Amino acid sequence: MADQEHNALRFLAKLQQVQDQYSGFFSASIRVFNSEAEERLTIESNGSPLCMGKRYEPNGFCQSYCKRIIEAPEPFQVYTCPYGQLVAIGKLTVPNQYLPPTDTDPTYYLHIVDRDPAREGGDENDPLGGLMNGADRQRRLDFVERAKVIYSAYSLAFDFASNETDAEGSGNVYREQRAEILEALTKREREVLRLVCTGLSNQQIAEQLVITEHTVKLHIGNILKKTDLTNRTQLAILGLELL
């Protein structure tokens, strides 16, 4: 039990670290919460002042609105809240080994709020003003793409975590596989993978490692081949588990 608790704390700490990085890189406020009494799995990163302020007002308007949204059948959706905030909510299947022991089959949700300075906030007196102009439509499309990447990353993270303990002895097998993957990567490839996990772009990784952007792309291509993965999001989640 002690090992399970340690692994759970270690995983959630890494998830929080990556969430903090993602919130800055994707210009978004991110949290994972349970609909019951706002029980949280992660601490909110890059919280939106407007959203955080309205969420806990005595009249509970935001809470009731959010509750209606999460009761919808779709597992992932993007909407514009009454205060003009672009918001995405996605249902998550969180492995039981990462949940508090008092929880009984809880449902957790990923909550993402746009923090793009060009879009954030809205006017409280006219929250929907300007939402239909071309620039705003493009910002919405951009937010949808960012939110989908974040949601996919969380879903993959919990899928990997769940698979790790699905069968008896799978923990040992997973550790062996993890060691094999790390051994197959060069020192430079491990450095690149670590920076991919933090949400840095190829250009930013190149600046950090003092190499060319072309070299970064070559390293990422080699890592994808060695790990049998197909995209950057999967690499980030793999790095979350490996490093």
Give 10-residue mean pLDDT values along the chain (243 residues): 66 84 89 76 89 76 79 88 89 80 71 78 46 68 90 82 52 62 89 83 90 94 89 77 67
CA distances from residue 195 to 34, 121, 204 in whole angstroms, order as listed: 30, 31, 9
- What pLDDT, on a 0 to 100 scale, did the predictor assign at position 164? 57
Q: Which amino acid, 83? A: Y
- What pLDDT, on a 0 to 100 scale, did the predictor assign at position 129? 47
For 102, the 3-state DSSP assignment is coil
E strands along the chain, which residues?
Answer: 28-34, 76-80, 86-92, 108-114
For 100, the 3-state DSSP assignment is coil
Give the sign of the dihedral formed by CA 62, CA 63, CA 64, CA 69. positive
CA distances from residue 83 to 68, 123, 198 in whole angstroms, order as listed: 16, 7, 31
- What pLDDT, on a 0 to 100 scale, did the predictor assign at position 126? 46
- What pLDDT, on a 0 to 100 scale, did the predictor assign at position 93? 86
DSSP annotation string for 135-151: HHHHHHHHHHHHHHHHH
- What pLDDT, on a 0 to 100 scale, did the predictor assign at position 212? 94
- What pLDDT, on a 0 to 100 scale, did the predictor assign at position 159? 76
- What pLDDT, on a 0 to 100 scale, did the predictor assign at position 102? 57
Give the sign of the dihedral formed by CA 192, CA 195, CA 200, CA 206. negative
CA–CA dist 41, 81 (Å, integer): 23
